[in-house]
Structure 1
Amino acid sequence: MEPQDLRRMANQIRQRDVRAVYEAGAGHIGGELSVTDLLTALYFDTMNVDPANPFAPNRDRLVLSKGHTALALYITLSKKGFIAEEEIETFLKHNSRLNGHPNRVKVPGVETNTGPLGHGLPVGVGMAKAAKLDGASWRTFVITGDGEMQEGSNWEAIMAAAQFKLDNLTLIVDHNRLQQGARLADTNNLAPIAPKVEAFGWAVEEIDGHDMEQITRALSADTVTAGKPKCIVAHTNKGQGVSFMSDDVAWHHKVPNEEQYKQAMAELQEAIQ
């Protein structure tokens, strides 16, 4: 897909996300909107995945470590064809397989259960190491939040990935500067993130996480440094695409009322045109 087509797809995913949160009365809308462009680029430009064969041995793997933004992943998977788009209507409903955190057993295309923060990158390191042991060419991608990077398990995984020279592993940090209840700067400020990860022996690139050209270029296998895992620090905005949600910590898991819903949908629709 061309960058303009990816942008259009991302806006469609955002619209469906806002509608699903509004209808369900719950969700993590701010972080979902910040990660949408990254998910769109991964599934519609970068990754080798086949909805008709979700367990293909040579598929690329994505671990959404910030599992509370599962809705954005579900919608992306539905647009890709892993699940029916109509199933998004069941989000968080009784007996729905579309829970608040992704479940590998229930949802095709989900690679591992996530939710407890700091678990996804260690799993991704294991996946990438397994590929190396098998001599396989598939790649592993992990998306974490910036607040999540406060977890010590991530830094143990970062050390291991460098030790094992996992150049088939890409960590993407959704750096929206906000976490649940507070700004990153007011809790345990890791910024700047890039030099810290680089000090552990990783190749690191900083990008605008809402610029499709920058995202797709950074994710390309052509940008991999032999013998080094890659970290992409994606500078994003929580609530991206909706003026009153953007960069507002209250929208970590706030639900729009009817008036806010209509305004959000109107703004996102205008952005598509």
Structure 2
Amino acid sequence: MIRRQLPLVALSTSLLVVLFLLQCATVSSFHIAFQSVRCEPRCHRPSDRTCLHAAADADANDEAPEKIKGDALREKTGIRPSLHPTTINALAGALKTRATDTTSVLHKSNNAQPLDVAMAGASIASNFIVKRQENSDQDGMKLTVAEEQTIAGRVVGVLVRLEDLETTLYAKAAQVGWIDKFNEWGTFGVLKGEDALDIDDVNDKVKDDPLFAMTRAECLLGLFIDTVEIPQLQKGSNGVPDDSKIDFLDEDRREILLS
């Protein structure tokens, strides 16, 4: 596989947060500002005629109550929603962008610098976070700021290390005999002989097979949390909302990727 040589840049947690907030500022800030502005009706005692008309209108236009978005039952339990689905969807979206958009900094032809990749990753993460928040705007399960930052940090972290993580992913899969014997390469989101192929071959598979892209995103995220996030967090006192739990990989993939 042809790899772009990028200079190593250490992205601190604070930089990731700044990048994320810069990308979100044009969306979230205005959304929050306008969300707090509500038009309150003036209170007057209705006349008898008004009450009769209101009752008639209600009978004539009897509509079902607005459906609550999200998981109301989960809210009552106090269990926070997993951050992984949004993160994995964002990473799969980034892989698709790399495969289909030749103008993107993620595309191999652009020789982008890590900071450019980080900005692109923050933008992709922001879009998926906004969609996630919109789906839970009435059930009390909106992501917290810390949860948003964790998702954005993971997306950016994977993308700035994408080539190294992809190389590691293939190497771990290639050393297990049964994967080749039973042609289970797709279970790990890699192609047979990928180390000798051009990235365009991977991109073609990503474009044609959404499940392949999603599986690859899962495995890359698992590797990132295990080899980058957890070791870095162990050096300091800060943590993440979900305690870096890797609960989205089945036992076979956990055994191979996290060993």
Q: Which has the higher helix share?
A: 2
Q: Which has the higher strand share?
A: 1
TM-score (norm 1): 0.24
For the pair shown, which has the larger CA radius of gyration, 1 or 2? 2
TM-score (norm 2): 0.24
